Every structure is written in structure tokens, then in C-alpha cells.
Structure 1
Amino acid sequence: MISAEQNDLITRVGPEAPAGKLLRRYWQPVALTDELAGERPVRAVRLMGQDFVLFRDEKGELGMLDRDCPHRGADLAYGRLEGGGLRCPFHGWLFDTKGTCLETPAEPVGSKLCTRIKQSAYPVVEKSGIIFAYLGEGEPPAFPEFDCFVAPDSHVFAFKGLFECNWLQALEVGIDPAHASYLHRFFEDESTDESYGKQFRGASADSQIPITKVLREYDRPEIKVDSTDYGLRLTTLRELNENTTHVRVTNVVFPQAFVIPMSSEMTISQWHVPVDDHNCYWYAIFTSFTGPVNKEQMREQRLKLYELPDYTSRQNKRNNYGYSVAEQNTQTYTGMGMDINVHDQWAIESQGTIQDRTREHLGTTDKGIIAYRRILVDAIERTQAGDSVPMLIDQAQAATFSGPPSIDGVNTSGSEPETYWREADLKRRRESTWAAARLAK
């Protein structure tokens, strides 16, 4: 249990909030590359309580500026792409991707006003189908050479979804391996041959055992939490019998991402990104170690569940998350459909837009959440003191990162869990064209 003041410390993300200052030291996802497709690649972005406009100019270069025009505050998200930048429709002021004012055409001929105008601009970069932006001061950190960032474009797929709650409780559901045995419980096991693109619907590696069966029948996992150079590694063990153990390895990448197994062939790297104190987006990169990702199928699966342009779940609190008594009695533990993101959404949104942690009582299986909060508070305090914090790395350091290993498998060898998952991870990499090439370096 923590105090109200401590809860504010770790949840609030405005420009002057301690956690907000910490998160601004890192790259943040702001849009899917797909969102700038079409004839007008301009999109309004709200990130950590601030408003921006993201655009791609006529040369294809990305830019992100403060959304209010510095002339009289008109909305640049309605700007025109012309003249080498984004032009405000109010008086025609023109800005390039760096925020330089190129023209103030309503001014008298010979006016030098535009030379004195500079709109705030922010570094942006595309990675694996996601556009990241940096709001902090100084040089941004390098991207660690994790699988999701180094796999070829053909082997990654990106998507996102809106959660109407604070970013921290959204992140903490991913640091909680125990909840899956209940929240994501299915009473019947589908054919694993039809599980492509669906989380918790395939078979565990090294077995034909559906993960749904494992989670349903073995609901008292043993959880181990280890500190790593990128954050935390969680190893979750479910003893199936005397000689067989289900091993699941997940990771927390500081400050606000996790890397988890989706299936024997794919992993999910997912960020929980504050829109403001009361809303957040999850951004996910699905990375395949086998063949190219079937992006069309993955996208079609998800567009049946999410509405554009805001990527809002079609099952949400306004329609009771699609809750069905009949389904809860016969098919799923929640009665809220087959998409586990909806299950997560109900769990975290039902806590309120900002969870009141003064009322919670954590248990043994919450050890990952406890460990993460300690790292988060320490990093916030270090930021306030002007000190270094985890994962502010340069390019040389970025090259030392890989993986991180994320495994969901059944160990029948009798070896130690760490031996098993390390061997399973190495085997998957050796059999993967792009990952094997990295091993050879």
C-alpha cells in the first residue's frame, strides 16, 4: 500500500510532473507509420498532456511540431502541406520539419518577422512500423538492438489500441504473470492450427499443449524476478507433472515496455504510452522468427476489433465490454469475448482512470510489480537530482543489447529452467534466417 502522494508521483505525466520529466528522457511511440499513409500525411498527436502535429513533408521527411501556430494559436493539424513544409490556413505562415518559419506571407514585403519565429520541433524516427518522438532536452538515447528493431520489415507488424486509463496500471498488467490463468481463461481449447496472430491461443513451444490448457489447469505459478541491464526478467513456472514444467519468460524494458512471447514463432514488444494522466495507447511490434509476417491477416484480425481513426476497441466500457452471461458460463472466464486485450482493458479501466493504490493489497505474485515500482521511483528521484537513469544509452552501448529472450515452452529435459529457456531461445535464433545472421557476427 502506498500513499496518495506516492501514487501521484508515479502516475502523473505532465511537463512539470516528476514522472513526466522522467519519461521525456526516452523515445515515445506517437503514431503508426500507417497513420501517415494516404494523400494527406498529417496527424494530431497528444502525448503526456501536450498537443503536437505530426506530418511528412513533400520530400517524405517527418516532422513533429507544437500544434498551436506561434502567430495566434490556430490549429496546425489542419495545415496545408506545401512550400516545403506545413502552412497554417489562418494567415499562411509556413514551417518546415525543424520548426523553422519559412514564410509569413500576410506581412508586408520585406518583413523580417519570419527570421525571428521558431516553432518548437521534436526529433522523430521510424522503427518497425512505429513513429517515435523525443520530447526531452539534449541528445536522445540510442535504440537498443532488440529483435523488434533489427528484424527485417517483412518480419515485423505494428498495431496499437486505446486504453481509457492511466499508463502505469496499463503497464502493470503486463508485469503480472499470474492474472492470465483467470482473466484470459478459455473453457475450451481451439485448434492450435488456427492460432496465427492470436495471443494465448497456440501451443507452447516443444509441445502440442495449448497454452489455454496450461493457464486454465495450473493457476498457482512460481514467479522469479531478476534484474537485468534493460530492466527486469520474469520467469514463470507451472509444474505440469513431476518431470514436466511450463516455462514462460517475459521482460520489462525500462521505462515502459515489455517483451513477451506471443507464440512459438512470434514475440510482442509493447509500450504503454501516456496520452495524458487519464488515457494511454498501447503500441505493439509483433516480431516473427520464422517466415515473414502475414501483415494483411494480422491487420484484418485487429480491424475487426478496433475502430479507426483513434484505434478504439469496439468492445469498451460504453457497451460493457461486450459482456455476456451465457459466454461467461460456457466459454470465457470474463464473458467479454476472445480478444485478451479487451480482458486487460476491462481489468485496468475498472480500477478508475487513475488507480487508487492506497486501497490495494499486493500479494506474492505481485513481486514483479513491486520490483518495477522501486526502479521507477528511484529513476524519478534520480531525474529530480539530475542524475543518470537506466537505458539512457549511446550507440556503442545499444549494440551490446539483443533479444531480450522471451519464451513460452514446456521443459521435459529435467534441466534447470534457465538452462531450458536459454537453449530454447538459441535454437529459435539458429533456425531463423535474420536472427541466425546476427549470431554469426
Structure 2
Amino acid sequence: MMSAEQNRRLTQVGPGTPGGALLRRYWQPVALLDELDSARPVRPVRALGQDFVLFRDEAGTIGLIDRDCPHRGVDLAYGRLEDGGLRCPFHGWLFAADGRCLETPAEPEGSTLCQRIRTRSYPVQVRSGIVFAYLGEGEAPALPAFDCFVAPGTHTFAFKGLIECNWLQALEVGIDPAHASFLHRFFEDGDSKEAYGKQFRGASDGSDLPMTYVLREFPRPQIEVENTDYGLRLTALRRISDQTTHVRVTNLYFPQAFVIPMSAEMTITQWHMPVDDERCYWIAVFTSFAGPVDHATMRAQRLETYALPDYLPRRNARNEYGYDPAEQASQTYTGMGHDINTHDQWAVESQGRIQDRTREHLASTDKAIAANRRLLMRAMAAVEEGRPPLMALDASQAASMTGPATIDGMAPTEGWEAHWKAAVARRRAAAPWSAPALAAE
């Protein structure tokens, strides 16, 4: 049983909290690059309980600075992009992407005040269509050579959506292999020709059995959890027959992401970026090992369920997630449509803004949930003791960390482990963007 203090430690993300100190040791996916379009190249960003303004100056440099102007504290998210920086509309103070004050134009001629003024800026980098920011102190870690970062833009697609609950419960649904047989159960198997861009709607690797059938008819997976250098590897085995076993391998990318298969050709790497203690964004990169990603189709599919400009879910608690009792009786287990993000959103939001884990009773299928919480507790202790936490990588460590391997596939019951690894190796070797060889198992 978890104590209330342990639950606070795991869920709080603001400055001065153990969880906030830990998460500030990693790059945070604060926005999609698409959000900095010509219509609004200056955007407010709230992350880890702090407020920032993100902008791209006239030269194309992306900056992330504190949202309050250091002069009189007004909101720089309404600033003007001009003269090589972001200008405050109140008194015209101008700030560069690196936080330097370039001008204080209302001051007397010859004033050197701007030379003594600086607002805090934060390192940013763009990877696979996502703007990552480092919000902590000291040197930022290196990002691993994972597939989502190695593949070119033609073979990746990024999207996001808001979830109105704490980041940890949003992450935990993705490292729960048992829930898919229930929460994402469909009573009819769809046409695999219409499965592009949709999870659990196609066939598993090396089989013509639809994933909907596998999950529905085999709801008791054998779950194995393995500690790795990047977090956790989760294996869910569903024994189809004496000869055949379905193998689903997914991963926890510590501390905030999971890496899962979407189809035989595509994977999803999904972060859960805390807005504050009670809201988060899921931000995902879809990576193709075959042909280029159809960006237009992927985007159009997701805009059916998320509304711009803030990527708010169209189905939510205010409209009961689109719940339809007739659909629940005959089509889907939840009655909440066919988009699994809506299913997950309902599951984690219905636990409350911050789940009260003192009232939960973990079961044997929750072994990955428990393992991840232990990793988080150990990593927080490491930060408090001045030691580097898990995945705070230097450049050499990051370059050698590849993958991670993930698959939905059929395998012989005897020898399933060697079989799925060989299938992953074949897929990676055939990738047109030359996926790097996996690090040693």
C-alpha cells in the first residue's frame, strides 16, 4: 500500500519538489514544431508548473524564455517579433532568444540599462518535429540514438493531445499490457486495408490474425518485466495454441515515455509532459520502418478527435467522452468510439486529477507499474544525493543506446524469444533510412 507522502513524491512536478527536480534533469517535449507557424510564431508554454514563452525570431532561431517581462512582469506571450527578438508591448524592451535584453527604448538616450538586464532562457532543440527544452540546472544530457530520433522527417510524424490529469497516471496506462484486452476491445474485426494510422486495427507481424481478435480472445497475457539501461522492457505473451504464441514487446523509456508497436511497420514513442500537477500532454513520434509516413492522413485522422490550436480532445468528461450505451452493447467495450486515445483518456482522467494511490490494490498484471514507481523513487533519491539518475546520458552513452526493440508478432511457442528478436532485426535491416544495429541485448 502506498502512503500519501509517497504519492505526493511521485506526482508533484513543480520547482522545489523531488519529482520536479528529477524531471528537470531531462529534455522536455514542450511543443510541436508545427505550433510555431507563421500565423502565431509566439506561443505561451506551461511545463512542470512554470510559465514560458516560445518563439521563433526573424532569423529562424527558436527561443524559450520566462513568460514574465523582467521589467514590470507583463505577459511576453503577446510580444512582438521584430528587430531580431521578442519585444514587450508595454515599454518596448526587446529580448533575444538567448535571454539578452537588446533594447530599452523608453530609457534616456545613451542608457546602458539593457546591458544589465537578462531574462532566463532555456536550451532548446528540435527533434522529429518536436521542440524539446531543458528546464534544469547544469549541463543538459544527450538524447539517445533511438529510432524516433534517427529516422528522417519523411519517416516520422509528431502529434499531441491534452489529458486532464497527472502525468504519471497517464504514463502508467501505456505500461499496462493487460488493459488492451478490455479497454480497447472491439467486438468486430476491421478491414486491415483501412488500418493505416490506427493502433490495434491491423494484423500482427507474421500473421493474418487481426490484433483486435488476438486481444479480445486471449485476455490473460503472461507478463514479463525486465530492467534495462533505458528503463523497462515489457513482454506480454498470449498463447494461441501449443505451437503458436503471440508476443507483444513494449518499453518504458525512463522517465516519461513508452515505446510500443503500432503496426508491423510503425512504432510509437510517446512522452507524457506535465503541464502542472493536474494536466499533461501526450506527445508522440510515429516512426515508419517501411515507406514514408503519410503525414496528411495521419494528421487528418487525429484532428477528428483533437481541436487546434491547443490540441484539446473533442471527447472529454464534459460530453461523457461520447459514451453511447448502444455502441457499448454491440461494438466497443467502452462505448466511447474507436479511437484508443479516447479510451485511455477516460481511464486515466476518471481516476481523478491526481490518483489517490493509497486506495488502490495492485494485481499481478501491474508488475510494470510497480517496477516503474521503484525506478522513479530511486532516481529521485539519486538526484537528492547528487548522483546522476537513470538516463541522464553523456554523449558517448547516448550514441550507443539504440532501438528500443518492440513488436506485435506471432512466434513459435518454443523459441519465441529468438524468433521475435530475429523479426525485429529483419525489419530494422530493411528500413530505407538504415536503422542502426541494436545495442547488445
TM-score interval (norm. to shorter): over 0.9
CA distance in 2 between counterparts of 1:360 and 1:395 reads 40
Q: Which runs of 4+ in 1 moved over 4 A?
A: none
Equivalent residue number for residue 37 of structure 2: 37
Q: Which amino acid aligns with 2:420?
A: W
Aligned residue number for residue 424 of structure 2: 425
- SS of 2:409's equivalent? strand
How is 1:96-175 mapped onto 2 (pairs within 5 angstroms)?
96-175=96-175
Q: Distance in 2 between matches of 1:232 and 1:339?
A: 26
1:296-344 CA-to-partner distances (Å, cap 9, x unmatched) read: 0000000111001111111100000000000000000000000000000
Structure 2, unaligned stretches of length 5 or more?
A: none
Please show how residues 243-262 of structure 1 align to structure 2 within 5 Å: 243-262=243-262
Alpha-carbon shift at residue 118 of structure 1 (Å): 0.6
Q: Following the alignment from structure 2 to structure 1, what is the Cα–Cα distance between the partners of residues 430 and 83?
A: 50
- Aligned match of 1:435: 434
1:241 is paired with a residue whose SS is coil
Tell me the amino acid that sits aligned with residue 150 of structure 2. Answer: V
Work out whether residues 2 and 358 of structure 1, in 8 Å CA contact, stay in contact via their aligned partners in 2. yes
Tell me what 2:311 maps to. Answer: 311
Q: Deviations over 1:58-109 (max 9, x none)?
A: 0000100000000001100000000100000000000000000000001111
- Residue type of the partner of 1:76? L
Alignment of 1:266-305 (within 5 A): 266-305=266-305
**d(CA) in 1 for partners of 2:125, 2:414:** 43
> 1:215-252 CA deviation, whole Å, 9 max, x = no partner?
00000000000011100000000001111100000000
**Preserved CA contact (<8 Å) 2:189 2:210:** yes
Q: For residues 394 and 188 of structure 1, what CA distance do their matches in structure 2 show? A: 48
The CA distance in 2 between the partners of 1:34 and 1:327, in whole Å, is: 35
Given residue 340 of structure 1, which amino acid in structure 2 is its aligned partner?
I
Is the CA contact (8 Å cut-off) linking 2:402 and 2:438 kept in structure 1?
A: no
Question: 2:99, 2:253 → 1: CA distance?
Answer: 32
* 1:134 partner letter: Y
Counterpart of 1:22 in structure 2 is 22
Distance of 2:417 and 2:141 partners within structure 1: 30
3-state DSSP of counterpart to 2:209? coil
State the secondary structure of the residue aligned to 2:136. coil
Aligned-partner residue type, residue 410 of structure 1: M
AA of the residue aligned to 2:50: Q
Would you say the 8 A contact 2:164–2:278 is kept in 1? yes
Q: Secondary structure at the match of 2:178?
A: helix
Residues in 1 aligned to 2:111 and 2:259: alpha-carbon distance in whole angstroms: 54
CA–CA distance in structure 1, aligned partners of residues 290 and 402 of structure 2: 18
Q: Match of 1:54, as an amino acid?
A: L
Aligned residues: 439
Q: 1:357 & 1:431 partners in 2: Cα distance?
A: 44
Q: Amino acid of the residue matched to residue 253 of structure 1?
A: Y
Give the aligned partner of residue 357 of structure 1: 357
* Cα drift, residue 439 of structure 1: 4.2
1:383 alignment counterpart? 383
- Please give the TM-score of this superposition, normalised by the length of structure 1: 0.98
Partner SS for 2:162:
strand
Name 1:194's counterpart in structure 2: 194
- Give the superposition deviation at 1:361: 0.1
Q: Quote the RMSD (CA, aligned, Å).
A: 1.1
Once the two structures are TM-superposed, the CA of residue 194 in structure 1 deviates from its matched residue by 0.8
Judge conservation of contact 2:61–2:97 (CA < 8 Å) in 1. Answer: yes
- 2-side partners of 1:32 and 1:168: how far apart? 21
**Aligned-partner Cα distance in 1 for 2:210–2:177:** 17
Q: Which amino acid aligns with 2:32?
A: L
- Give 1:48 shift: 0.8
Where does residue 59 of structure 1 map in the other structure?
Answer: 59
| Secondary structure at the counterpart of residue 121 of structure 1 | coil
In the TM superposition, residue 435 of structure 1 has moved relative to its aligned partner by 2.9
Please state whether the residue corresponding to 1:229 is helix, strand or coil: coil
Q: Per-residue deviation at 1:40?
A: 3.5
1:394 has 2:361 as partner:
no
Q: Which amino acid aligns with 1:193?
A: K
Secondary structure (helix, strand or coil) at the match of 1:148 reads helix
Q: 1:362 to 1:284 in 2, by over 3 A?
A: same
Q: Deviations over 1:162-218 (max 9, x none)?
A: 000000000000110000000000000001111000011110000011000000000
Contact 1:289–1:435, Cα closer than 8 Å, also in 2: no
Alpha-carbon separation, structure 2, partners of 1:271 and 1:369: 16
Inter-partner Cα distance in structure 2 for 1:53 and 1:426: 42
SS at the partner of 2:102? strand
